[in-house]
Chains A and B, each alone.
Chain A
């Protein structure tokens, strides 16, 4: 196919840019299209002014990820009237929304159920963790597990479109993973430049520090300043590169890197000690709570694409939500992690509204699939949090892509209530089935990306639609 864009004559749909057209346009030397130049100017302006508050139209998304897949029937889609082969031990409780009940594991979310919507009719087709994650996050219909994604995930695509669109006066990276969701996904042909800036480590630890951000040692910072100044005075080849427009991009990234490393304000964006201790308490003084608080803090500072994976020891023995009987006693495990989970998620949602971010920032909480409504029993493979000693027969649930729940909040969506329904056992969707493409289209819709029309060229130059067949879920976006 052609190297540049799809022409408007061949596509009714404006805008599908080649994945690296950004560079190509720059290379062409079109003054009007010299994005790197514009960005460089903006980077300077931003560096001078510190971090400005993001404009209201710079929408953002925080995706909270339950890696391994959360049991929908034990949380958001309870089936209290089903037989004991299916039913877990958790009672249901009323929520702030009359008629909507969830399980007793989530009392804090029940109290603010008017501020989010439960989508009970999500489903996809792949039962493995890799393929399931790829289905949901990239829309790849392939049901087979493969080691690497074929399509880019929505986060890198969004990061790419936002970068192409320009106009962001902010030295912070635009896509940050606070314990990022990268295990089975990635930018693929969108390019590594659109991968997340990863914040790993436990933000609840007193010595938590984000590497490559606001150096704590002022001598180091001044050394970097000195090096960059020396580099500039020795860089004598500029004119040869100006014709290619690459110089601007390089300088912009260098300037952004210097700001990140040395500007106390970028450091501040990651510094949770700047938060009111009461707020920190509200999220929970543990890894998950502080992860989500950091995500909120970054969204507030103008980061537009955020993910946070709720994994690790707070999950129990195997550090994720994959509650097969061999891994966990699912009910013990859910009980073990429910407190931190409920507190962190409810705090995030509440905080988004309390701080007036509820129009700008969309929050979605999901895993790659649900879990088998029918309980299975197998011998445990080891003792630990949420699991009995090896050999003990314990209950678990397996992978279940045919029906699961996500919750949605903020983003100006319609909240308070439930969309869709599953059958009496929670096995299949019986009302308002929504698939990964609808999930993706809804997120893109909030980000102002027209997923019905935007395409990106894959490695073969083939324009690939970012969403094949979905549309924004009308009940969420308030349109039918």
Chain B
């Protein structure tokens, strides 16, 4: 008998309309793979919390995650445990059905109602002898969603229709059995039946649809629909694409920010450095029309740029202190920093890292191999860091939202299969070398030997004398590589804009589309055309008008948080904040074994977190994760307490010879307040702020017993208080 999916679909639809039809119809021949598996997936039997739990499933009954391994699932349902889960003699008494309907106690409760069409499909399948399907059973080849793209209003609804295309050319409406997941629930939600609902936030959103291991994506654009009368004049292609997107969405951008804001913003973002009073005054006094571009250039050639970006990369490259004696982490940090300062092309930097051989003392990137030891860890780190692809799911199962299978995973691991490792006298450090031999990975599940291949790339035959890691570097830096450039520009975009074009920045997937695809493509192209010039990426971004927009929303764009219509403020990270507090208060933090005056952004590794509670409490990462999300940027009670009452902060405020002490000795309070504002916020105080501060400084003070104190003696304390108050304003704590 030949299976006709379309006829079954018609039957299913008819039965939704009229439940009475079930018994009347001639049953079609059902198969596990095309009829039963989708029901189980839709009823979420095979999620990680239920029967697809790692290990042995749930209470001994195991299914593959999201049904990616139907043959195994069939085995477990039909044959395992001597076939106890099905009861062909009385199909309705099958354990599978009685559990699913909760007529036998079931930890997951009622999953399939006994009067549902899904129940009847399962029952009929058992009646037919529980067939898996045979060679003639058509396979799903492609999923199609209708519509694929749609502009929706806010608070609107859109019903999706999902079609599965089969290998025999037939198609079937699987809307009811597909699974739906939105990429940004703030913008659009979707229910189990494929009905999309938009919220009151404008932007671009996507719904991922999954059925039988195939995925499709519905993209929607939700305009605000306001008039965009004028946009700042574009300074490069970034602006054209950002503003085109805003016009399309009807979101008018905020105006370009003033010089003070720009100076502080860009100095922090490029050089991790809050401008000094002198820098602020010089920049504000400069009348040349191209002073912003000149500032960007000077920041890019400053050591601060290298320090700040080395700090960023060192954390995700897991530059952790392993030993006490001659830390390889210092060497690795210097290597990163020097490479960035000299503007070594990104592909060269990554090639040197990937193909590192020898000892970390003489070839610092070897330090990375000391931290990341197995081929599995190496491929996962490399994929997430440099390709923006999260492969870790695919080690144990097919990536649930991607096309990557376990074979793709082990093909990538094959590049790292010929790494030789020899111990050195220094604990934790090895000599890394290329071990002659054929590079192969082993699929841990099938035990099959897998040839090396880049993601979506051809299988490679690598001669035994060639280091496969170089071939991986070749594949990555090839201009045709769809991930390498995109991943870096997206990561850097997020660094400056506090939100990636793809979010999270290291999760590039077909099912996680960028909010502005044209812009991401253009940035990637520009990066490749510049031969992977990292400073050029930074320059392009920071000289754009889009980067220079005010943080203050206008009358209508406040709801936008993905299209860059205004700047999204971000809290200073731990290192920058500590340096900024030091600079403002005129103090310094001592770090063991480092020269006095070393700034926190220049710290070579994680080992300083232990001794600096400030860095820990404000979330400096330990280099434990390849994900920048290890850095905690959210506020906490401990942070507030630390700023308010920690001896460390008190000591900075009251440092002998510090700023508060010096200003208390000066006679002109107006000038002193102006100095504080210039040093803290790169701007002059407003009239009202000046008045508030003067009033505060002039206020009479008394001791605990209410006895008035000598104003000359309390001036220092008053200046400390003023500095404290400034440090705790959002304007100081945030880059805006």
Interface residues of A (CB under 8 A from B): 1-5, 7-13, 16, 20, 22-25, 27-30, 148, 173, 191-193, 195, 197, 211-212, 215, 217-219, 223-224, 226-228, 230-231, 233-244, 246-247, 249-250, 253-254, 256-258, 260-261, 452-453, 455, 459-463, 465, 468-469
Contacts and interface: CB of A to CB of B under 8 A. Distances in A.
B558 A11 contact: no
B730 A12 contact: no
Contact of B201 (A29, A257, A453): A29
Nearest to B727: A231
B645 A224 contact: yes
A12 B192 contact: no
B559 A10 contact: no
Interface in B525-559: 551-553, 558-559
A28 B632 contact: no
A3 B561 contact: no
Given A29-B201, A29-B559, A226-B721, A253 B568 contact: no
Contacts of A25: 186
B641 A261 contact: yes
Contacts of B43: 12
B730 A249 contact: no
Contact of A237 (B47, B401, B693, B729): B729
B97 to A, nearest CB: 17
Contacts of A223: 717, 721
Interface stretch (B126-134, B340-348, B615-623): B615-623
Contacts of B725: 227-228, 230-231, 234
A197 to B, nearest CB: 7
A256 B634 contact: no
Interface in B588-639: 616-617, 619, 622, 624-627, 629-630, 632, 634-639
Given A236-B689, A257-B640, A461 B507 contact: yes
Contacts of B686: 236
A236 to B, nearest CB: 7
Interface of B: 43-45, 47-50, 53-55, 66, 107-108, 111, 179-186, 190-192, 199, 201, 208, 384, 390, 392-393, 400-401, 503-504, 507, 512, 551-553, 558-559, 561, 566, 568-569, 571, 616-617, 619, 622, 624-627, 629-630, 632, 634-641, 644-646, 686, 689, 692-693, 696, 703-704, 717, 721-722, 724-726, 728-731, 733-734, 736
A187 B199 CA distance: 33
B641 A7 contact: no
27 contacts: A3-B503, A4-B186, A7-B180, A12-B47, A20-B629, A28-B186, A29-B559, A148-B624, A192-B636, A193-B635, A211-B645, A212-B646, A223-B717, A226-B721, A227-B725, A231-B724, A231-B728, A237-B729, A240-B566, A241-B730, A242-B558, A254-B644, A256-B637, A460-B384, A460-B390, A460-B627, A468-B54
Given A191-B632, A240-B551, 8 more contacts: A4-B184, A9-B181, A9-B192, A13-B50, A231-B729, A234-B689, A236-B729, A241-B734
A13 B730 contact: no
Contacts of A12: 43-45, 47, 49-50, 108, 111
Nearest to B703: A219
Contact of B637 (A10, A197, A459): A197
A193 B616 CA distance: 11
A445 to B, nearest CB: 14
B561 A244 contact: yes
Contact of A239 (B553, B619, B646): B553
B632 A238 contact: no
Contact of B641 (A240, A243, A257): A257
A127 B179 CA distance: 44
A223 B559 CA distance: 38
A468 B696 CA distance: 57
Nearest to B717: A223
Given A29-B558, A230-B721, A20 B634 contact: yes
A460 B66 CA distance: 19
A192 B638 contact: yes
A221 to B, nearest CB: 10
B184 A27 contact: no
Contacts of B561: 27-29, 243-244
Given A9-B181, A258-B644, A249 B635 contact: yes
A230 B47 CA distance: 53
B49 A455 contact: yes
B636 A234 contact: no
A455 B44 CA distance: 15
Given A9-B192, A234-B693, A244-B569, A459 B107 contact: no
A2 B401 CA distance: 9
B444 to A, nearest CB: 18
Nearest to A250: B635
B635 A3 contact: no
> 7 closest A-B pairs (Cβ-Cβ)?
A28-B186, A193-B636, A257-B640, A230-B725, A12-B44, A231-B725, A459-B625
A243 B619 CA distance: 23
Contact of A250 (B111, B192, B730): B730
A253 B639 contact: yes
Interface centre among A20, A254, A260 (most CB of B within 10 A): A254
Nearest to A243: B558
Nearest to B724: A227
Given A3-B184, A12-B50, A236 B731 contact: yes
Contacts of B635: 193, 246, 249-250, 253
B552 to A, nearest CB: 5
A388 B129 CA distance: 75
A147 B558 CA distance: 45
Nearest to B193: A9
A235 B736 CA distance: 13
Contacts of A257: 637, 640-641, 644-645
Contact of A261 (B401, B566, B645, B726): B645
